[in-house]
């Protein structure tokens, strides 16, 4: 490790990078995608998982808690970050996780064979030669039927951010204190945004968008994501070429819908096909140009894997399916000429659908959320939904599968190969998983049942941390009231027990909506 790299390592010891759960990196999701492509993939219920650059373990531990018969290994070069990860591991009492403080360049095939290898937020933040070492490690340690997940910044979208990053690093270079460096970096960006002579220009709009985005980022994340020495974006096609010397090949993007040309108007689809000659990699590069893409998460396998890239409804596997979308219009299940609208909790994501099968699928899943249904269970529930609306209960599985593929590619569904071993409440009292209860005590974004990091306010985190299945809403309200955690809006005193219980009841509904509670 040279001096530059040592300074890089020390920066993470000085200000640890708090890692979160990243939905698309979950092995239970990766296995589901492998099965969609009809490749031979190892079940997450009995597998070996390696995360390179695991930071404080926030992406690895939630999955390990669900699959006690699988083994998980996290590697990071920061002693401080590994110490934090080990501390969290001790609190959870998991026996299937090992953390190592280690330079990834020292890892060889003797380190072991892994069915899933995860490298989130690592590739672009490494020196040139270490990026090659990362791919070497994946090539040597990925099992024959394994799958790797590697995320990275991409051109063309990152080009604008890169220019602003240079200005921010230039301004912050004179500050040794990380907090002052962040303040200086944001200050120069604010100055540029305020001082442009033409505030209506495209450049001014870009700067305002970046200021807004950066101000929402945790300071430690902003420091490491944007102000570190190393941050090298790449074009997608260049990344694909880098895989070849390491006996690796690109399978798909973890956001499968981003690969689909079907989301574009017909004339755009035809032009993309003509430009790319139908070649998958060229097609994706053209799509990156089209949408100005700045970030990717690529799935990688060995060349011996032979995926079937045309996703066939007939071959749709029996997966677990969920959706957090809620009906925001009349359902009109009996009327195929009318559109039903389903929206996310913040109403930023909208799906409009006319198909009676599509309406039925989202209606059933909306009612079941946050529970997931297997494909077989969903078909049965859909039949009952149709009967309730005086429609024929006979639904062809292939027709439903086609709708599931469409909705998944649109981003309306969550897929899992396996839900894992979840703690259940025998008393009927609300229960959250131990990992969520622990993380609610110290991070602002908490992993839910679907490996999504959900931002929570202080009150919801305080309530979530108490949901061990032993307390009902009244007991939780009593405990929080006694601690003085539930105040009147004017801070004049504590809420009454009745008022406190009403607050807790409302919070429990929100936590269910956010995917933390099974019932």
Q: Per residue in 30-45, pLDDT tens? A: 999 999 999 999 999 9
Range 436-452 average pLDDT: 96
Select 3-155+233-301's CATH number: 3.40.50.150, 3.30.465.10, 3.30.450.20, 3.40.50.300: 3.40.50.150
Closest CA to 150 of 343, 296, 35: 296
Report the C-alpha gap between 315 and 337 in whole angstroms. Answer: 29
Q: How many residues are there in the chain?
A: 519
Beta bridge partners of 342: 327, 351
Report the C-alpha gap between 379 and 286 in whole angstroms. Answer: 37
Residue 426 CA to chain centroid, in angstroms? Answer: 30
Helix 497-513 to helix 473-482 angle, to the nearest 10 degrees?
120
Residue 132 CA to chain centroid, in angstroms? Answer: 25
Confidence at residue 163, expressed as pLDDT on a 0 to 100 scale: 87
User: 306's torsion region: left (phi>0), alpha (psi -120 to 50) or beta?
Assistant: beta
CATH architecture assigned to 313-416: Alpha-Beta Complex (3.90)
Confidence at residue 190, expressed as pLDDT on a 0 to 100 scale: 87
Report the C-alpha gap between 375 and 317 in whole angstroms. Answer: 8
Distances (CA, A) of 463 to 230, 324, 471, 500: 40, 21, 11, 11
Closest CA to 307 of 33, 3, 15: 33
pLDDT tens digit string along 41-98?
999 999 999 999 999 999 999 999 999 999 999 999 999 999 999 999 999 999 999 9
> For residue 152, what is the enclosing H or E element?
strand 142-153
**DSSP code per residue over 33-62:** HHHHTT-----GGG-EEEEES-TTSTTTHH
Res 227 pLDDT > 90: no
Terminal C-alpha separation, the chain: 51
Beta bridge partners of 414: 322
| Three-state SS at 345 | coil
List the chain domain ranges: 3-155+233-301, 158-226, 313-416, 434-513
Q: Where are the beta strands (DSSP E) in 262-319?
A: 295-301
pLDDT tens digit string along 446-500?
999 999 999 999 999 999 999 999 999 999 999 998 887 787 665 556 778 888 8
Confidence at residue 269, expressed as pLDDT on a 0 to 100 scale: 94
Res 439 pLDDT > 80: yes
Range 387-392 average pLDDT: 82
**DSSP code per residue over 476-516:** HHHHHHHTT--B-TTSSSBPPHHHHHHHHHHHHHHHHHTT-
Report the C-alpha gap between 372 and 374 in whole angstroms. Answer: 7
What does the block give as tokens for 122? Answer: 């690592």
Q: Is the Cβ–Cβ distance between 356 and 383 less than 8 Å? A: no
pLDDT tens digit string along 312-369?
998 899 999 999 999 999 888 888 889 999 999 888 999 999 999 999 999 999 999 9
Cβ-based neighbours of 483, under 8 Å, separated by 6 or more: none
The values of phi and psi at residue 83, to 5°, are -60, -40
Above pLDDT 70, what percent of the chain?
97
Gyration radius of the chain's alpha carbons: 24
Confidence at residue 482, expressed as pLDDT on a 0 to 100 scale: 84
136 or 212: whose pLDDT is higher?
136
Query: Within 13 Å and on the Cβ side, how many CA atoms surround 269?
Result: 8
Beta bridge partners of 339: none
| pLDDT tier, 3 (very low <50, low <70, confident <90, very high otherwise) | low
Helices (H) and strands (E) in the chain, counts: 19, 15
Report the C-alpha gap between 217 and 202 in whole angstroms. Answer: 23
Range 226-236 average pLDDT: 91
Confidence at residue 490, expressed as pLDDT on a 0 to 100 scale: 53
Confidence at residue 492, expressed as pLDDT on a 0 to 100 scale: 59
Report the C-alpha gap between 207 and 188 in whole angstroms. Answer: 11
Helix 375-388 to helix 356-368 angle, to the nearest 10 degrees?
110
| Three-state SS at 380 | helix
Query: Within 13 Å and on the Cβ side, how many CA atoms surround 55?
Result: 21
Confidence at residue 489, expressed as pLDDT on a 0 to 100 scale: 62
Distances (CA, A) of 33 to 304, 323, 342: 17, 17, 24
Q: Is the Cβ–Cβ distance between 354 and 313 less than 8 Å? A: no
Q: DSSP secondary-structure letter at 407?
A: H
Q: DSSP secondary-structure letter at 457?
A: -
Q: Is the Cβ–Cβ distance between 437 and 55 less than 8 Å? A: no
Res 28 pLDDT > 70: yes
Confidence at residue 13, expressed as pLDDT on a 0 to 100 scale: 83
User: Average per-residue pLDDT in the chain?
Assistant: 92
Q: Is the Cβ–Cβ distance between 465 and 458 less than 8 Å? A: no
């Amino acid at each position: 490790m040279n001096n530059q790299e040592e300074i890089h390592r020390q920066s993470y010891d000085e200000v640890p990078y708090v890692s979160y759960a990243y939905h698309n990196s979950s092995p239970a999701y990766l296995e589901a995608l492998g099965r969609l492509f009809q490749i031979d993939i190892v079940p997450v219920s009995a597998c070996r998982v390696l995360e390179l650059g695991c930071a404080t373990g926030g992406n690895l531990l939630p999955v390990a808690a669900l699959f006690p018969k699988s083994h998980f290994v996290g590697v990071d070069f920061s002693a401080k970050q590994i110490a934090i990860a080990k501390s969290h591991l001790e609190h959870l009492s998991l026996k299937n996780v090992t953390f190592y403080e280690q330079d990834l360049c020292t890892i060889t095939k003797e380190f072991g064979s892994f069915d899933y290898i995860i490298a989130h937020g690592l590739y672009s933040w490494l020196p040139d030669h270490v990026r090659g070492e990362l791919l070497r490690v994946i090539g040597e340690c990925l099992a024959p039927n394994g799958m790797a997940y590697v995320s990275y910044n991409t051109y063309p979208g990152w080009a604008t951010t890169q220019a602003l990053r240079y200005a921010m690093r230039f301004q912050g270079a004179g500050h040794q204190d990380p907090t002052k460096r962040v303040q200086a970096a944001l200050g120069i960006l604010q100055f540029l945004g305020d001082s442009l002579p033409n505030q209506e220009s495209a450049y001014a709009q870009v700067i305002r968008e970046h200021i807004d985005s950066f101000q929402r980022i945790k300071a430690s994340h902003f420091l490491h994501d944007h102000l570190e020495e190393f941050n090298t974006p790449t074009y997608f096609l260049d990344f694909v070429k880098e895989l070849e010397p390491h006996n690796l090949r690109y399978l798909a993007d973890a956001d499968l819908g981003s690969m689909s040309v079907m989301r574009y108007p017909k004339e755009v689809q035809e032009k993309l096909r003509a430009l790319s000659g139908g070649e998958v990699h060229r097609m994706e590069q053209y799509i990156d140009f089209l949408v100005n893409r700045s970030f990717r998460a690529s799935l990688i396998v060995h060349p011996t894997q032979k995926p079937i890239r045309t996703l066939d409804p007939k071959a749709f596997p029996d997966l677990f399916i969920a959706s957090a979308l809620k009906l925001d219009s009349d359902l009109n299940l009996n009327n195929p000429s009318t559109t039903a609208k389903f929206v996310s909790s913040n109403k930023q994501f909208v799906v409009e659908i006319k198909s009676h099968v599509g309406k039925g699928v989202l209606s059933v899943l909306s009612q079941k959320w946050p529970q997931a249904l297997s494909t077989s269970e969903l078909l049965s529930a859909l039949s009952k939904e149709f009967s309730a609306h005086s429609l024929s209960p006979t639904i062809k599985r292939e027709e439903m599968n086609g709708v599931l593929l469409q909705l998944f590619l649109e981003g309306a569904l969550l897929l899992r190969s396996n839900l894992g071993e979840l703690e259940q409440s025998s008393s009927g009292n609300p229960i959250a998983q131990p990992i969520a209860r622990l993380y609610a005590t110290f991070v602002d974004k908490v992993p839910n049942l679907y490996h999504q990091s959900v931002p929570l306010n202080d009150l919801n985190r305080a309530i979530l941390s108490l949901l061990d299945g032993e307390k009902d809403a009244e007991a939780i309200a009593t405990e929080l009231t006694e601690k003085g955690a539930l105040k009147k809006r004017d801070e004049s005193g504590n809420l009454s027990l009745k008022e406190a219980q009403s607050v807790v009841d409302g919070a429990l509904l929100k936590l269910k909506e956010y995917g933390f509670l099974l019932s």
